């Protein structure tokens, strides 16, 4: 036996091992470790990133059965353990390999190959920009560590991001970008152990109906009011509302066509009478040609950032003191429909959610049933 790891409490794991200077040096490299003389063991933080680091750098690590069973409930951890155990010692990066001078291959040519591969598979421009940016940052990390240009160090890089308190969604996105490049573009073997961080469970930000009305009517600019009315009344994403065209409006049927929304899907949603009145007044005054909400130049649509700033200004003028973005109008649309008794399956269609699980989160912020419950203080 070399290194033995067991649960100490909810925050710490206990690490024991027969003493050698070489093993001690490995332990001293574990982030956040500390020696507990009264227990004759080392304590390491009970986090997925630390366990991942130990699994990859301490080949003789053995986990207590109780700890292994507890970890098996965490998303992706079983896959990580299996992948690491399948790796032969020769496939793990050696100290000699890591110490070799950097062979940086991420350059303009590789960047173009990455972009072309993403375009061929139909990825959006926004996703392409984000993925390329992740590779740029990973390239900087590899240079600083003087590693060879390879996907072998993604796990250590994600640990580095976790220590910098990056969000789970950011880290998981980084893993997706790196896996795509090294597996799809460079054709490296898909045998590296990647672990995805557990996502934070956050409730969507929801405004009351009264707050929504104040926000929608806060701005004197007719174009800006129409933009906010359309966002809320149809439950649109900011990227969808700024890309609306006049031809997408079906006033007779009270419908709005959303072309190529998230996931490159078309869908139909509501065009309310109240929103149409404001929109009709705006169109008569401004006479937009192609884009319903053109930007500074009429041949281009309004930018998403401009739409966000319009909402932020309306939030301020309406004197609504909530930490909310323009996306809160979409959340509020879904929640208000749910509270009015609309079946969640119809709400899913209007929002364009692929999975009903995504729509079901609005049940956690709906106050319809909660308001019927009396606090013991009021009984």
Residue 145 phi, psi (nearest 5): -85, -10
The pLDDT, as a whole number, for residue 366 is 67
What is the topology classification, in CATH, of domain 209-370?
A: hpI Integrase; Chain A (1.10.443)
> Mind listing the pLDDT tens digit of every residue in the chain (379 residues)?
588 999 888 778 899 988 888 888 888 888 788 898 888 899 988 877 778 778 777 878 888 887 777 766 554 454 445 544 444 444 444 444 443 433 447 888 888 889 998 988 888 888 899 999 999 999 998 888 888 888 888 888 888 888 888 888 888 899 999 889 988 888 877 666 566 766 666 777 889 999 999 999 999 999 999 999 999 999 999 999 999 999 999 988 888 999 877 777 889 998 999 999 999 999 999 999 889 999 988 888 999 999 999 999 999 999 998 889 999 999 999 888 888 888 888 888 888 887 777 777 777 666 665 666 666 756 5
- How far apart CA 47 and CA 27 sit, in angstroms, is 16
Is 353 assigned a catalytic role? yes
Question: Does the active-site annotation cover 357?
Answer: no
Pick the catalytic residue: 134, 267, 301, 353?
353
Among 46, 53, 232, 362, the one annotated catalytic: 362
Pick the catalytic residue from 214, 259, 262, 313: 262
List b or e across 254-290, with b for residues whose CB sees 16 or more CB atoms inside 10 angstroms.
eebebeebeeeeebbbebbeebbebbeebbeeeebee
Residue of 225, 237, 267, 336 with catalytic role: 237
pLDDT of residue 197: 66
> In this structure, what are the phi and psi dihedrals at residue 35, rounded to the nearest 5 degrees?
-90, 135
Give yes or no on whether 97-185 and 209-370 have one common fold: no
Is residue 153 annotated as part of the catalytic site, yes or no? no
**322 is a catalytic site residue:** no
134 is annotated as an active-site residue: no
Asked whether 354 and 263 are in contact (CB, 8 A), the reply is yes
For the chain, give every domain's residue range. 3-86, 97-185, 209-370
Single pTM value for the model: 0.58
Which entry of 23, 62, 223, 327 is annotated as an active-site residue?
327
327 an active-site residue? yes
Contact between 216 and 225 (Cβ < 8 Å): yes
Catalytic residue among 26, 330, 331, 336: 330
Considering only the top CATH level, what class is 97-185?
mainly alpha
Determine how β-strand 267-270 pairs with β-strand 255-258: antiparallel
Task: Supply φ then ψ for residue 42, to 5 degrees.
Answer: -95, 140
């Amino acid at each position: 036996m070399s290194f033995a790891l067991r649960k100490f409490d909810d925050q710490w794991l206990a690490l024991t091992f027969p003493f050698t200077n070489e093993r001690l040096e490995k332990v001293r490299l574990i982030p956040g470790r500390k020696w507990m003389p009264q227990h004759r063991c080392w304590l390491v933080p009970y986090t997925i990133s630390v366990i991942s680091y130990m699994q990859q750098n301490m080949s003789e690590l053995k986990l207590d059965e109780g700890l292994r069973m507890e970890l098996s409930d965490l998303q992706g951890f079983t896959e990580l353990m299996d992948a690491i155990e399948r790796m032969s010692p020769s496939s793990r990066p050696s100290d000699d390999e890591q110490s070799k001078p950097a062979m940086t291959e991420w350059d303009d040519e590789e960047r173009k190959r990455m972009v072309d591969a993403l375009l061929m598979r139909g990825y959006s421009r926004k996703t392409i920009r984000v993925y390329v940016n992740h590779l740029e940052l990973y390239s900087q990390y590899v240079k600083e560590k003087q590693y060879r240009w390879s996907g072998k160090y993604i796990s250590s890089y994600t640990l580095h991001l976790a220590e910098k308190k990056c969000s789970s969604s950011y880290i998981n996105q980084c893993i997706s970008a790196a896996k795509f490049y090294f597996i799809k573009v460079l054709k490296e073997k898909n045998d590296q152990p990647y672990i995805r961080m557990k996502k934070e469970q956050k409730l969507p930000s929801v405004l009351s109906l009264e707050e929504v009305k104040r926000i929608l009517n806060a701005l004197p600019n007719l174009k800006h009011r129409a933009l906010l009315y359309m966002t809320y009344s149809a439950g649109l994403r900011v990227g969808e509302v700024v890309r609306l065209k006049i031809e997408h409006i079906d006033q007779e049927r009270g419908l709005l066509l959303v072309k190529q929304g998230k996931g490159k899907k078309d869908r139909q949603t509501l065009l309310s009478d109240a929103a149409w009145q404001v929109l009709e007044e705006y169109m008569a005054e401004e006479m937009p040609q192609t884009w319903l909400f053109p930007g500074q130049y009429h041949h281009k649509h309004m930018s998403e950032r401009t739409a966000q700033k319009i909402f932020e200004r309306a939030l301020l003028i309406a004197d609504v003191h909530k930490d909310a973005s323009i996306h809160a109008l979409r959340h509020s649309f879904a929640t208000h429909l749910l509270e009015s008794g609309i079946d969640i399956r119809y709400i899913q269609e209007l929002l364009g959610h692929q999975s009903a699980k995504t729509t079901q989160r609005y049940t956690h912020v709906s106050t319809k049933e909660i308001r019927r419950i009396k606090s013991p203080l009021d009984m």
